[in-house]
Amino acid sequence: MTFLSTSKPRHSYHRKIVDLQSLCNHREIARRSGKTVVHCHGCFDIVHPGHVRYLQFARQQGDILVVSLTGDPHVGKGEGRPYVPQELRAENLAALEFVDYVYINPTPTAVDLLGTLKPDIYIKGREYEHNVHPGFIKEKNTVESYGGRVIFSSGDVIYSSSHIIENYASRLDLEQEKLDLFCKRYGVARAALLEIMDNIVDRPFVIVGDLVLDRYQYCDATDLAGDGPMMSLVPLEHRDYLGGAAMIARHLAGLGAEPTLITSLGTDDASDHAIDDLEASGVHVLGIRNRKKIAMKTRYVVDTQKLFVIDECPSTPTDSTNGKYVVDQVRKLADPNASLIMYDAGLGLLTEAVSTDLLITAHGGTGGGAETSYGKLIGGTAGSRGRLMRMLDSDLLVTTERGLRVAMRDHEQGVTSLAYRLLNDTRGKAILMPLGRKGLLAFDARETVAAGEAWEGKLRSEYLASPINGVVDRLGTDEALIAVAAGMMGGGANLHQAAYVALAASILEARQLGHLPLDGHELRTLLDGRPELAD
């Protein structure tokens, strides 16, 4: 299959980019003609002079040069890699005169491709001559098993794509083109996004999760304390913001939705004020009063710099009586047009028993059937305290890398492997992983693969760089991302449409200090002006 965009004018070298069947046909013709086929494989993130010399050397060893490159989901070189999307990497290679065919390989290594294509010669760089990496050894054994030869290039010019990207990426104007390709791949177009946002208006959403009062205590740093190496702070004023599940609900209300928040509150005045504020902003609140006081975090701030936080958020597990109330309310609100959002900050509301009953209800269990189920189930966690593994059969999970690693109890494997394991273990469909100001990663199973193709059953990962800049305060951005992603998917968006708008919304939230609900008009205005959202 070919991944080229049909919206660009095709140059003659595009004919060199072929699918597996075409590549095998060309190989068979070469075999019958007695021609020698040479094969090179790699990432080729940025084609540099070292690559050119390597490929020239390869072409000199035979009659036909085939170059395969690792597809985007399997480039395991860290965040933001590949820097150049597979379509552009394939074009760069095809544009070289001495390259005959280019193939985008849908598996992590070239082993399967080598066994199918059976090139006469397989070329590797000189650095592999004494390499005992298991991946290379499998490739070498595969080639030698059918009588092929492995030859190591001279390596007379050495460059590194990783070094170039790390040191010169800021000088390369590829980010906009990457955004363009992302949007064209997944139908992320202005008219489509705005239509989906229209579908969010008046749509019901039920949010079950932990509420936190985020207090910003502004201070003046006057001097060092006299009794030790400590900063001396003079408190000035404080501002309170509702965070956690409350902010998810307020963001949805800001988009015109009809959110209902089911949460845990205290018996104090701050909890009463929280309910009043939420109801005034368009959020219906169904609370259980099982805390002495509202869960609160106090951040001490000088100018715009946060110095430290006091965490007063003890875990208060939901008892059986309150748990039954929560589940009953979720069951009463069930609607195929509604979305259920479970947000676990690890404060005790979503116990294992409550989570289990909510999931049964969400999927129309306990005899209710489809009419008493929810159209979408979204799960999200805060940091590493939430329990991702309890959120089974979700349409979308939103978590940070740290949250993912804690959930899987693995701090060594790559995030793609962990994401695959999480979706497999929870029977989930997709994951969004925010990366701070860098953007986000989206993981899902490929939806457009024919049965039997090599991509079948593989996890697709996409890196989406932030389309806008400007970060003042990261607090609350993950809640904005969860809220908008849930809203977009509830309105009919695919994963990548939801990811684009959710990322834009999270950056809008990051441009201000503290929590403020999203303004649907402001978000629409931003989308209306983005160049990559061409209709």
Mean local confidence (pLDDT), 378-407: 89
Say how many C-beta atoms besides its own lie within 10 A of residue 7's C-beta. Answer: 8
Token pair in block for residue 173: 């104007």
How confident is the model at residue 488, as a pLDDT? 96
How confident is the model at residue 412, as a pLDDT? 77
Report the range of poorest mean pLDDT among 190-204, 234-248, 286-300, 370-384.
370-384
Separation of alpha carbons 207 and 376, rounded Å:
12
Q: For residues 459 and 419, is the Cβ–Cβ distance under 8 A?
A: yes
How confident is the model at residue 307, as a pLDDT? 86
State the burial class of residue 78 (Cβ atoms within 10 Å of its Cβ: 0-12, 13-18, 19+): exposed
- Over the stretch 306-347, which tens digit does the pLDDT of each residue have? 888 899 889 999 999 999 999 999 999 999 999 999 999 999
How confident is the model at residue 10, as a pLDDT? 46
**Dihedral angle, C-alpha 288, 291, 293, 298, nearest 10 °:** -100
Token pair in block for residue 501: 């708008």
Q: For residues 434 and 465, is the Cβ–Cβ distance under 8 A?
A: no
DSSP-derived pairing of the beta strands 149-152 and 376-381:
unpaired
pLDDT at 385 over 80: no
Q: Give φ, ψ of 110 to 5 degrees.
A: -90, 5
* The 3-state secondary structure of 118-162, one letter per residue: CCCEEEECHHHCCCCCHHHHHHHHHHHHCCCEEEECCCCCCCCHH
How confident is the model at residue 163, as a pLDDT? 47
Alpha carbon 133 to its chain's center: 30
pTM of the shown model: 0.70
Q: For residues 489 and 498, is the Cβ–Cβ distance under 8 A?
A: yes
Report the range of poorest mean pLDDT among 182-186, 187-191, 473-477, 480-484.
473-477
At 163, the amino acid letter reads H
Please indicate whether residue 181 or residue 430 has the higher confidence score (pLDDT): 430
How confident is the model at residue 458, as a pLDDT? 63
pLDDT at 435 over 90: no
State the average pLDDT for the chain.
84
Q: Is the dihedral of CA 88, 92, 93, 99 positive or negative?
A: positive
Strand order in the sheet with 64-70: 101-105, 64-70, 37-42, 121-124, 149-152
B/e letters for 503-523, b = 16+ CB within 10 Å, e = fewer, are: bbbbbbbbeebbbbbbebeeb
B/e letters for 117-153, b = 16+ CB within 10 Å, e = fewer, are: bbbbbbbbbeebeeeeeeebebbbebbeeeebebeeb
Say how many C-beta atoms besides its own lie within 10 A of residue 448's C-beta. Answer: 8
Mean local confidence (pLDDT), 205-209: 96
How confident is the model at residue 171, as a pLDDT? 44
Closest C-alpha among 474, 476, 528 to residue 501: 528
Q: For residues 398 and 378, is the Cβ–Cβ distance under 8 A?
A: yes
Mean pLDDT is highest, among 4-18, 165-179, 396-410, for 396-410
Q: Give the DSSP letter of residue 267.
A: S
What superfamily in CATH does domain 12-167 come from? HUPs (3.40.50.620)
Is the domain 185-211+243-293+314-528 a CATH 3.40.50.880 member?
no
Q: Give φ, ψ of 392 to 5 degrees.
A: -85, 150
- Over the stretch 90-133, which tens digit does the pLDDT of each residue have? 888 998 989 999 999 888 889 999 999 999 999 987 777 777 77
- What confidence tier does 79 reach under pLDDT thresholds 50, 70, 90? low
Separation of alpha carbons 501 and 518, rounded Å:
12
Contact residues for 222 (Cβ-Cβ < 8 A; gap 6+): 232, 233, 234
Q: For residues 224 and 232, is the Cβ–Cβ distance under 8 A?
A: yes
How confident is the model at residue 18, as a pLDDT? 92
Alpha helix positions (H), 232-365: 245-254, 269-280, 320-332, 352-362
Q: Quickly tell me which residue has 């489809």 as its tokens.
A: 370
Mean pLDDT is highest, among 362-366, 381-385, 399-403, for 399-403
How confident is the model at residue 456, as a pLDDT? 45
- What confidence tier does 511 reach under pLDDT thresholds 50, 70, 90? confident
Closest C-alpha among 24, 72, 78 to residue 181: 72
Please indicate whether residue 470 or residue 319 has the higher confidence score (pLDDT): 319
Per-domain boundaries in the chain: 12-167, 185-211+243-293+314-528
- What confidence tier does 11 reach under pLDDT thresholds 50, 70, 90? low
pLDDT at 164 over 80: no
pLDDT at 228 over 60: yes
